[in-house]
Structure formats: C-alpha cells, structure tokens
Structure 1
Amino acid sequence: MYTYQAFGDRYVLSLENHVEITKAMTMFCEEKQIKAGVIHGIGAVGKATLRFFDPHTKQYIDKTFQEQMEIACLIGNISQKEGKPYLHLHIALGRSDYSALAGHLLEATLSGAGEFVIEAFEGSLERYYNTSIGLNLYQLRK
C-alpha cells in the first residue's frame, strides 16, 4: 500500500497507484502510532470525494469527481478521536482545463504518484464533537 523513509520524526511516504489516500495514511498512522502531527503532499488522483460544511444545517455536502486531476496541494493534521487516528485533510485539485477544485477531503484514489510528508508530534491531540458548531474540534489542555 505504501513505502516510506523516516527522517527523525518526519516520514516521507509514497503511496502505491490506485490506493485510497485517507485509508492508506490512516493505516500508516496506526502502524507508527502517530497520535498528533501534520501532513502535506502532492500527486495525482482519478477520483476524489470532497466535502463542504454548511454551518446552517451542520452537515457536510459531499461531491465526487471522477477524472484525472493533479493534487496541487494536500495539507492537514492528525489527531485522535475515540482512540483512533483522525485525519483532517484539505485538498486543491487541478483539472485538465487548468481550473481547480478545493475542499475538505473525504477520500481520493491515486492515479499516478502520491508523495506525502508526515511530521509526527510527541504526545496526543484529542478531538470531541461540538454540538453547537457541528464539528469535531481539538480538545486542548488549558
């Protein structure tokens, strides 16, 4: 599913073609017991489901795009929710007509290369569901 090389608390991760990005990165975080950190990367996908949060309904609106697209930028963070890795990822995707799509990444399947860097932090960041906002927020220590 992936190969990687460690550089201290940073990992350079190469995902295999046709792998679902969020699934592979979640598995990597479980394997390496990464409970807090950041992610960034580039690559190409053939299918992606993006989400847009509507604060009035407190619901995500999902839309799937199935075409060859370049990952112009993937950025996000790693935390924990209910003892499991929680990846919060945003992505900008370039289309063949040079227009771009962007949003919260639910899932995407590689179609070509996927090159990512994960920086692990010491300790753990926890999340909780905030009912008044409708989002999973950091539970930070005061």
Structure 2
Amino acid sequence: MNEKLIGNNWQARKVENNYIVIFDDKAEIKDVLMDFISNRGIKKGHFSGIGFLKNAVLNCFDSITGKYTDKEFKGLIIAFDIFGSILQLENQISIDLRMTFKFNDEIFYDNHLLKGKVYEKIEMIFYSADTQKVIFTNKISLPDINDFSYN
C-alpha cells in the first residue's frame, strides 16, 4: 500500500507500516513532528532524516565546562542526521529529537534539537512501533569465552 497524506506543513506516504514524511519550508520542526504524530496516532516509534535548517537552538555539550548549554545557531545548518524517538508516558507524547550537523565548517555530533526552522525541506522516515510486540525475558546467555571454534 502506498497511501498519500497531507497535513499542516507536511506531506507523507505510508509504505507498509512506515511513513516517509517531507517537511515544508519555513516550518518549525517540532511543531510539524507533533502534528504528524498526532494526525497518525503514533504513540511510540523512531525516526531519522536529513535536510537543512535555518536558525536553530540546540542543547550542546560544552567540553570545557562539562555541562550542557543551550546554543543558538543563526544561518544555514546542514543536518547529516536528524533522529529520535517517540514515546508515550502517562498519556503524554514525548519526542527525543537529536541531530548531527555542520555549521560554519564545524561538525556537531548528537545534540538535542530544541527548535529550528526548516530551510527548503527536510525528509524523514518514521518507523512506528505501535504494531510491534517487544517481549523481554530474564534469561541471559553469555558467550563461552573458552570456545575458540569458528563454526
């Protein structure tokens, strides 16, 4: 099935249980994420994508102070990897949104994206975990460290 969907500042295609979503120019990325998630009724899952942002605020690790601080980036941001997860806790949807990006010839790895505007477009794929069952067991099997066979 290849269902086409349109929402507030986004367009999507459903392919099996996943979605390919295109975010519109100048849209606030977190607003679009929340609109898409609520529109599709997604309660848990993960996503990844690429694209461009302009003027974003990220929570970055400062290696000098050893603390996380909010940092504003003004200008074009090239996002190599926008990724995160969706989780429902006590009937409240929560988004963990992270990004690896290039800004002024410097690369920043795995920072929390607090807000940012889409520049041109961003494309993401969403993997909804609503249809998957995860079963945990308390059995742990460790490898035999004395077994040197390659079978």
Q: TM-score range by the shorter chain?
A: 0.7 to 0.9
RMSD, aligned α-carbons: 2.3
1:133 maps to which residue?
none
CA distance in 1, matches of 2:17, 2:116: 26
Percent identity (aligned)? 23
Contact 1:48–1:108 (8 Å) recurs in 2? yes
> Displacement of 1:67 after TM fit?
0.9
CA distance in 2, matches of 1:82, 1:53: 29
Task: Give the alignment of 1:1-142 within 5 angstroms.
Answer: 1-52=9-60, 61-97=69-105, 99-102=106-109, 103-122=111-130
Residues 3 and 80 (structure 1), Cα distance of their counterparts in 2 relative to 1, 3 Å cut: same
Q: Which amino acid aligns with 1:73?
A: D
Task: Find runs of 4+ consecutive structure 1 residues off by over 6 angstroms.
Answer: none
CA distance in 2, matches of 1:52, 1:69: 15
> Displacement of 1:8 after TM fit?
1.6
Deviations 1:13-40 (A, max 9, x none): 0010001111101111111110000010
CA distance in 2, matches of 1:5, 1:123: 18
Deviations 1:18-71 (A, max 9, x none): 0111110111111111000001000001111111479xxxx9521111110111
Larger-Rg structure: 2
> Displacement of 1:118 after TM fit?
0.6
Which structure's residues are more often strand, by fraction? 1
- Aligned residue pairs: how many? 121
Contact 1:46–1:69 (8 Å) recurs in 2? yes
Deviations 1:84-123 (A, max 9, x none): 32110110111242x1123111111111220011110126
What's the TM-score, normalizing by structure 2?
A: 0.72
Gaps of 5+ in 2: 1-8, 139-151
Gaps of 5+ in 1: 125-139
What's the TM-score, normalizing by structure 1?
A: 0.76
Residues 60 and 30 (structure 1), Cα distance of their counterparts in 2 relative to 1, 3 Å cut: farther
Contact 1:35–1:123 (8 Å) recurs in 2? no
